[in-house]
Structure 1
Amino acid sequence: MNEVIGRCPVCSEKMVVTRLECPQCGTAIEGKFELCKFCYLSKEQRDFLELFIRTRGNIREMEKELGLSYPTIKNKLDNLIAALGYKVEKGPRVDKKE
C-alpha cells in the first residue's frame, strides 16, 4: 500500500483525505479529513524525528548515526520544531564542548 503524502507535489499546499475505507469489511466514509501534523512533514523530517525518538533525543548519538555536526543537528531540529508549528527559541548560542 502507498504512503499518504501530506503536500501537493505540484503546488506544495496541504492535501486532504476525501475517502476512508476499512480493508476488512469495505465500510467507507467520504468527506474532507485533515491529516495529522506529522503527515505534512517531508520524508527527511519524519526520518529525522524517528531517529530523535529512537536515540531518546541524544544528539551525540544522532551525530554518530547521521555523520553530521552538532550545529547541523540542532539546525535540523529547529527546522522540525518550526515545521510542526512551534516557536523556535533563539537564545544565546551554546556550542558543544569536546
Structure 2
Amino acid sequence: MNYKAPGQCPICGDELKITSLGCSTCKTKLEGHFTGCKFCRLPDEQLEFIEVFIKCRGNIKDVEKELGISYPTVRNRLEGVIQALGYSIDKTGDYTEERKNSQITSEKRQLILNALENGELSPQEAAQQLRKLGK
C-alpha cells in the first residue's frame, strides 16, 4: 500500500525534505536531499478543491454548484491555493512567483556546508561556492 508523503513536519510545521527514493522494480535506492512538488505540500482540502476546479474547467459557477459553496468562498479558496503554491498578486493584479531568496540561499549554503563536512568538497571549493552565493 502506498501512502501520500506528508508535506509538513507534524511537530514544527516546517517543510519536510525527501531524503531517500527507491525503485520497487529493481530495488535501486537514492539518498540525498530532494524537494517534492509544490502540489505535494498542499493539504488534502486544497487538493480536492483543485481537482474540482480543474474538472469544472475553471468555471467558478460550476465549482459553486459542485461544492455547494458561495462565489466568495470559491474565490477565497482559490486565493488560498494560489498563495500556498508560492504565488502572490503584484501591483498590476497579475500573479507572480514569490521567490524566498533568503530561504533558497540558506538552503544552498547548508548543502555546501554538508558537502564540506562529508568530505565531498575541499575547504577551498566550499569557500568558492559560498562566495558565489553571496553575489
| TM-score (normalised: structure 2) | 0.64
The number of equivalent residue pairs is 91
Provide the residue aligned with 2:38 in structure 1: 37
Amino acid at match of 1:14: E
The residue correspondences of 1:1-98 to structure 2 (distance < 5 A) are 1-88=2-89
Structure with more of its chain in helix, by fraction? 2
Deviation of the 1:27 alpha carbon: 0.5
Structure showing greater radius of gyration is 2
- The answer for unaligned runs of 5 or more in structure 2 is 94-135
Distance of 2:29 and 2:16 partners within structure 1: 19
Percent identity between matched residues is 49
Deviations 1:43-69 (A, max 9, x none): 111111111111110111111111100
Q: For residues 89 and 64 of structure 1, do their structure 2 counterparts lie closer, same or farther at Cα, with a shift above 3 Å needed?
A: farther
Amino acid at match of 1:21: G
- The answer for unaligned runs of 5 or more in structure 1 is 92-98
Distance of 2:42 and 2:56 partners within structure 1: 20
Higher relative contact order (CA 8 A, sep 6+): 1
| TM-score (normalised: structure 1) | 0.86
Is the partner of 1:87 in helix, strand or coil? strand
Q: For residues 86 and 69 of structure 1, do their structure 2 counterparts lie closer, same or farther at Cα, with a shift above 3 Å needed?
A: same
Residues 45 and 80, structure 1, Cα contact 8 Å, conserved in 2: yes
Supply the RMSD in Å over aligned alpha carbons: 1.5
